Amino acid sequence: MEINVPEVKIPRIVIIGCGFGGLELVKALRNVDVQIVLIDKNNYHTFQPLLYQVATAGLEADSIAYPIRQIFKQRNNFHFRWGTVEKVIPEQNKIVTSIGELKYDHLVIATGSTTNFFGNKDFEQLGMPMKNLVEALNLRSLILQNFEKALLTTDTRELEALMTVVVVGAGPTGVELAGAICELKKHVLPHDYPELDFRKMRVILVENGDCVLQPMSETSRVKARNYLEQLGCEVWLNTGVTKYDGMVVETKNGKQLLTSNFIWTAGVKGVIVDGLKTEVINSKQRFLIDEYCLIKGCENIYAIGDVACMVTEKYPNGHPQVAPVAMQQAQLVGKNIRNSFSKKALSKFEYFDKGTMATIGRNRAVVEAGKIKFGGFTGWFSWMALHLMLLVGFRNKIIVFINWLWNYLNYDRTIRLIVRPFIRKGKTE
């Protein structure tokens, strides 16, 4: 069955995924005479950089998600369809989805990435990932539920496990999440659970490598680590995790930890679409693309963002899997599609790295932009301003701003709701 989309004489661009890449591409194709069909498994765009604040009760889920139809409601020749893509059949220029088949003239795969458990079934089964809204809400519920349980137990080992939070992976997500959990420990949870002794609560950030925030400079890494330790976070570097059974974590260097809160932010892999040759997919599940973002060997199938890997001299393992890469690739693909219609020359992709930043609790952040590096309150304030600016939807900006102001003035995180029955498996796709 064909997906019910109007038949028109202009070319049809099918975009899979409405993350930062897909969203930007639809924008870039404004005023281009094409029909756009956007498919996503959610009917909303998620502002992923703030997921960790949803997971730590600082923001409501709805304030960082925005309905896709709302974003593009003024657009003609734009059609959103809610569904999941099963495979692409390149020889027939069509995709097969949960809601039917669809022909395309150009296909752009912008499906992003998901948590990589590196094949460890226990981690996948028992660890909590945090890559989408539902997972962030599950994580919030898990942490709160474990404190409710801690009140009831008389078993000291169980109490220790319930009051210990282990975050595996000290990339930006792990660092920001660990920082936010430390703030919960410091300002919020002791008021909620006066019967518990919060000197016993531990937040441990475990990292296989020898530093936190590996993509940043040495200065920022050290600063971030200091910030974390000031907040009471234990930072264990050079510590690979080998085993977790729901209670005990074992590490490569022979340490053991009791925890019921095992959070996994140690890696991502691309969300590939079936149907393309295996040679164009690398070990991190990313499509190998050329400098025009075309998948190797394809003439009309692009991949952009986290799911794509463009090997260049400067980036031999592909560009970092961050929003700016996806957005810049989307702009390039949009421009090239437009130029191809007017027979103009196509441009090659060059990544303009605007810098990186990470926030570690109240008044603390690290920021780098080229040679400029700063941190502390200025960094933290810049982080907030930039994220507010980038957030989609004016209502969302207002709501997030008020929550931040509220939380800042009151040392509070008010959204401490256990909203759903706890699903041990965080996966919901």
For the chain, the farthest-separated pair of C-alpha atoms sits apart, in whole angstroms, at 74
Tokens found for residue 204: 């441990």
Instruction: Tell me, residue by residue from 310 to 339, as one string, x for binding to a second copy by CB under 8 A and - for no binding.
Output: ------------------------------
The nearer residue to a second copy, 126 or 188, going by C-beta atoms, is 188
Q: Interface residues for a second copy in 121-140 (CB under 8 A)?
A: 133-134
Q: Among 174-182, 249-257, 277-285, 392-400, which window interacts with a second copy (CB under 8 A)?
A: 392-400
Instruction: Tell me, residue by residue from 149 to 188, as one string, x for binding to a second copy by CB under 8 A and - for no binding.
Output: --xxxx----------------------------------
How crowded is the C-beta side of 188, counted as CA atoms within 13 Å?
21
Minimum CB separation of residue 243 from a second copy in Å reads 30
Minimum CB separation of residue 153 from a second copy in Å reads 7
Minimum CB separation of residue 74 from a second copy in Å reads 9
- 8 near a second copy, judged by CB under 8 A: no
Minimum CB separation of residue 50 from a second copy in Å reads 14
The structure tokens 């000197």 sit at 199
Count CB neighbours of 419 within 10 A: 11
Q: Among 254-262, 306-314, 336-344, 398-406, which window interacts with a second copy (CB under 8 A)?
A: 398-406
Whether the CB-CB separation of 263 and 128 falls below 8 Å is answered with yes
Minimum CB separation of residue 67 from a second copy in Å reads 4
Minimum CB separation of residue 242 from a second copy in Å reads 33
Name the CA dihedral angle for 310, 273, 323, 38, rounded to a multiple of 10 degrees.
120
Candidates 60, 176, 183, 368; binder of a second copy (CB under 8 A) is: 60
Minimum CB separation of residue 377 from a second copy in Å reads 24
Candidates 10, 33, 62, 255; binder of a second copy (CB under 8 A) is: 62
The nearer residue to a second copy, 194 or 370, going by C-beta atoms, is 194
Instruction: Tell me, residue by residue from 400 to 419, as one string, x for binding to a second copy by CB under 8 A and - for no binding.
Output: --xx--x-----x-xxxxxx
Q: Interface residues for a second copy in 64-103 (CB under 8 A)?
A: 65-67, 69-70, 73, 79, 81-82, 99-100
Q: Interface residues for a second copy in 181-240 (CB under 8 A)?
A: 191-193, 195
Residues taking part in catalysis: 176
How many residues make contact with a second copy (CB under 8 A)? 52
The nearer residue to a second copy, 117 or 193, going by C-beta atoms, is 193
Cα–Cα distance between 346 and 11 in angstroms, integer?
18
Minimum CB separation of residue 297 from a second copy in Å reads 32
Candidates 252, 255, 348, 395; binder of a second copy (CB under 8 A) is: 395
Candidates 156, 242, 317, 428; binder of a second copy (CB under 8 A) is: 428
Q: Which residues bind a second copy (CB under 8 A)?
A: 3-4, 6, 42-44, 60-63, 65-67, 69-70, 73, 79, 81-82, 99-100, 133-134, 144-145, 148, 151-154, 191-193, 195, 393, 395-396, 398-399, 402-403, 406, 412, 414-421, 428
